[in-house]
Amino acid sequence: MARPPAYELAPGVWRIPTTPGDYVNVFAFRDDDGQVTLVDCGYFNAPKHVLRALKYIGSDPSDVTRILLTHAHGDHAGGLAKLRKVTGASVAVHGLETGNVRTGKPPETESPTLFDKLFKLLPGDTWKPSELDEELFDGQVVPVAGGIEIVHTPGHTPGHVALLHKPTGVLITGDSLFNWRGTMALPSLTYCASAALTKQSAHQLGELEYDLVAFTHGPEIRDRARDSVRSFLRSKGLGTS
């Protein structure tokens, strides 16, 4: 049986898989008036999956009015230029990464290995540059679907953010935490701007209140989500009581 183009996480909130195995996800929030906000854009070929998902949930591309980026990496911003062109949506990213989105190049890593340097040469790590309409900041509540709180979680990149939708209790981690094949993990520290800040931000996610945790990379956790995150963090020496 073919999997659906989108999975409802909570009323008005969907996860949109754009690759096999839930490797890269995009998210959609829909307001009561039908306006849609997308979180991230996947790789350059992700827009076709996003547009299919919009139709599946009963929305049109013209309903998309805002695109929020968790950070400036090719698997999150690769489809940005096309989705912005198709939808006419405004685009927002944390202020520390506006230059990266405008140039189509990711932030530098802290201690790049040879593998990291070679990986950056592969198609998909860069993207078509895009203009921006808004800069996100820590603690900001974006007026979408009852309010999405911006949580600055630097480390993977300097301006990385997680998103907390308090009305539904959904947390989107971006790349602060992965859930590879249902196994939680930190992002590769050699591919982060700061390993220390990556660990600190992961700990920060354990302190938030939420009922469901969703990942850009991997399936969501619906049951005892916060407990699962905190248990993982304790296993890495990053937890709290």
Residues in the chain: 241
CATH architecture of structural domain 7-235: 4-Layer Sandwich (3.60)
Do 218 and 181 meet the contact criterion of CB atoms below 8 Å apart?
yes
- Tell me how far apart the alpha carbons of residues 76 and 153 are, in angstroms, rounded to a whole number: 16
pLDDT tens digits for range 71-130: 999 999 999 999 999 999 999 999 999 999 999 999 988 765 555 555 555 555 789 999
Cα-Cα-Cα-Cα dihedral sign, residues 147, 153, 159, 161: negative
Nearest Cα to Cα of residue 161 among 170, 149, 169, 144 = 149
How do beta strands 7-10 and 13-17 pair? antiparallel
pLDDT tens digits for range 161-185: 999 999 999 999 999 999 998 899 9
pTM to 2 decimals?
0.94
- Tell me how far apart the alpha carbons of residues 73 and 82 are, in angstroms, rounded to a whole number: 16
Burial label for 61, CB within 10 Å (0-12, 13-18, 19+), is middle
Nearest Cα to Cα of residue 168 among 1, 9, 7, 20 = 9
For residue 48, the tally of other CB atoms under 10 A from its CB is: 12
pLDDT tens digits for range 128-154: 999 999 999 999 999 999 999 999 999
The residues near 123 (Cβ < 8 Å, ≥ 6 apart) are none
Could you state, in order of their start, the residue ranges of all structural domains in the chain? 7-235
Say which amino acid occupies 77. Answer: A
Chain mean position to CA 138: 15
Q: What is the dihedral of CA 103, 104, 108, 112, to 10 degrees?
A: -140
